[in-house]
Amino acid sequence: MNKHLNILAVVLISTFSFGQNLTKKIDSIIKDNYQKHSEVSISVGYIYNGHEDYISYGKISKENSIDVDKNTVFEIASVTKAITGNLIAQAANEGKIKLNDYIENYLPKDFVLQKQLRRKITVSDLASHQSGLDDIDWKELFSKNPQNPLKDVTRATFIDIFNNCSALPDYGTYRYHTIGFILLGEILENTYKKSYDEIVREKLINPIKMKNTLTNEFDIKNIATGYNNNGVKQNLMSWNSSAAAGLLKSSATDMVKYLKEILNENSNIAKASILTEKIFYKAKKGPRKIGLGINIYSDENNTFFRKTGDTMGQSSIICYNRKNNWGVIILINQQNSKMRQELWNKIYETILK
C-alpha cells in the first residue's frame, strides 16, 4: 500500500511541477508582450493533460483601474463560428439535419434560392466556406460606419443578398464567408424552432456552466473595452440579425470549460466536436483544410484545430490538439490580428510543438 501511495505522490508532484513550469513559460511570453505593448490587455487560458491555468495582464479599459482577470468578458468574434459549427454537428448527430443535404431543405421559407442554384449547396458547404454565395460588402459597410459596420444590417439584408444571388462562380473554392454562418444560424433556428440565443444556452452554455458567455447582452460590468489598431476606443459589435457568425462574448474561464468539454470525448458537445474536425474542404494547392467552422493544421508532429476572430476592437484565437490533450484561448482588447498570431506562434513553437 505504501509503495502505491509513494508512486501516486510522485505522479502528483510531477504533474504539479509540470503545470507550474508550463504556466511560467506561457506567462513569460505574455508578460514580455505586455511590457512592450502595455496599452493592450490580454487574458489567456490553457489546459494541458487536465492541468489548467490562466494568465492576465492589463486593465479592462484605459480609463478603469480594474485588472483584467480570467473572468473578464471579451468579444470572441468569429470564434463564434466554431461554436456554431459545433451546434450544427450536434443537430446532425441528433438526426435533425444531414450535412450533405441541400440548404433549401432547412432554411426558413423567406430564404428562396433561384432555381438554377438549387440542389447544389450543402449544409457542410456553408460551414466550410465554399458555398459560392454572394456575401455582404464589408468594405462598403466599414466606410459607412467604422465603429459598428453591421449596425444597419438586418435579417432582411441577408434575405435580399441570398434571394438575389444568381450564380456561384467560385463554388467549391474557399472564400471566407459571413453570410454562410448567418444561414447556419437560420437553419438552427428553423430546425429547433428556437432562437440562436436559446439554442446556444441549451446546448452549450447551461450544460457546462459557462456563466460569462453571452450573446446579445451589453450591460456587463466585467467586460473589456475594445480599441482599434490605432488605439481608438470601439463600441461593442451589435447585430440586428443572427448572432451565429460572430456575436458571442466570453471569458478565458468559460472558453477553457469549452476546451475541456470538447477534449473529453464523452459528451454530446465532444462528439459533435469530433464531427467538426473532419475535413470538409481541402485546397487543391496549399495546406488549407477546413472542418465545420474550424481550420485544421498539420505539421510533422501535430494536427491541431484553430479559429480566430476579430471585431472592430478585439481579437481572439482558440486552438486545441485532441491527440496531445491541450487547448489554448487568447483574448486581447485590441483589433490586432498580428499580435494575436505572434503570441500564438510563440506559445506553439516554444512550448506545444
- Looking at residue 18, its pLDDT comes to 43
- The alpha helices in 37-163, defined as continuous H runs, are 79-93, 123-127, 138-144, 155-163
The more confident residue out of 338 and 300 is 338
Q: Residue 20's pLDDT band (boundaries 50, 70, 90)?
A: low
Which of 100-104, 246-250, 322-326 tops mean pLDDT?
100-104
pLDDT over threshold 90, residue 147: no
Whether the CA torsion 165, 176, 280, 243 is positive or negative: it is: negative
Q: What is the pLDDT of residues 42-79, one digit of tens each?
A: 999 999 998 999 999 999 999 999 999 999 999 999 99
pLDDT over threshold 50, residue 17: no
Q: What is the pLDDT of residues 82-134, one digit of tens each?
A: 999 999 999 999 999 999 999 999 999 999 999 999 999 999 999 999 999 99
The more confident residue out of 12 and 118 is 118
Are the beta carbons of 52 and 44 closer than 8 angstroms? no
**Taking all residues of the chain, what is their mean pLDDT, rounded to a whole number?**
92
- Looking at residue 15, its pLDDT comes to 43
Residue ranges of E strands in the chain: 42-48, 51-57, 74-75, 226-227, 233-234, 249-250, 281-282, 289-290, 295-298, 303-310, 315-321, 326-332
Bridge pairing between strands 315-321 and 226-227: unpaired
Whether the CA torsion 283, 287, 289, 293 is positive or negative: it is: negative
- The alpha helices in 193-305, defined as continuous H runs, are 196-200, 252-264, 268-276
- Looking at residue 22, its pLDDT comes to 87
Residues paired with residue 75 on neighbouring β-strands, in sequence order = 249
- 345 by DSSP, 3-state: which? helix
- For the chain, helix (H) and strand (E) counts, in that order, are 10, 12
> Which uninterrupted H or E stretch holds 32?
helix 2-36
Q: Residue 161's pLDDT band (boundaries 50, 70, 90)?
A: very high
pLDDT over threshold 80, residue 14: no
pLDDT over threshold 60, residue 192: yes
Q: What is the pLDDT of residues 257-300, one digit of tens each?
A: 999 999 988 899 999 999 999 999 999 998 999 999 999 999 88
d(CA 324, CA 246): 28
- Looking at residue 259, its pLDDT comes to 97
The more confident residue out of 45 and 8 is 45
pLDDT over threshold 50, residue 305: yes
Residues paired with residue 315 on neighbouring β-strands, in sequence order = 310, 332
Are the beta carbons of 257 and 209 closer than 8 angstroms? yes
pLDDT over threshold 60, residue 13: no
Give Cβ neighbours of residue 35 (< 8 Å, ≥ 6 apart): none
d(CA 291, CA 274): 10
pLDDT over threshold 60, residue 227: yes
- 158 by DSSP, 3-state: which? helix
% of the chain exceeding 70 in pLDDT: 93
pLDDT over threshold 70, residue 159: yes
DSSP state of 207: T
pLDDT over threshold 80, residue 5: no
CB atoms within 10 A of CB 21: 11
- Position 331: which residue type? L
- Looking at residue 96, its pLDDT comes to 98
Residues paired with residue 312 on neighbouring β-strands, in sequence order = none
The more confident residue out of 2 and 52 is 52
% of the chain exceeding 90 in pLDDT: 79
Name the grid cell of 3. 509503495
CB burial of residue 287 (10 Å; 0-12, 13-18, 19+): exposed
Nearest Cα neighbor of 79 from 276, 335, 342, 331 is 331
Q: What is the pLDDT of residues 195-220, one digit of tens each?
A: 999 999 999 999 999 999 988 777 78
Q: Residue 2's pLDDT band (boundaries 50, 70, 90)?
A: low
- The alpha helices in 287-353, defined as continuous H runs, are 337-347
- 24 by DSSP, 3-state: which? helix
* Arithmetic mean of pLDDT, 229-254: 89
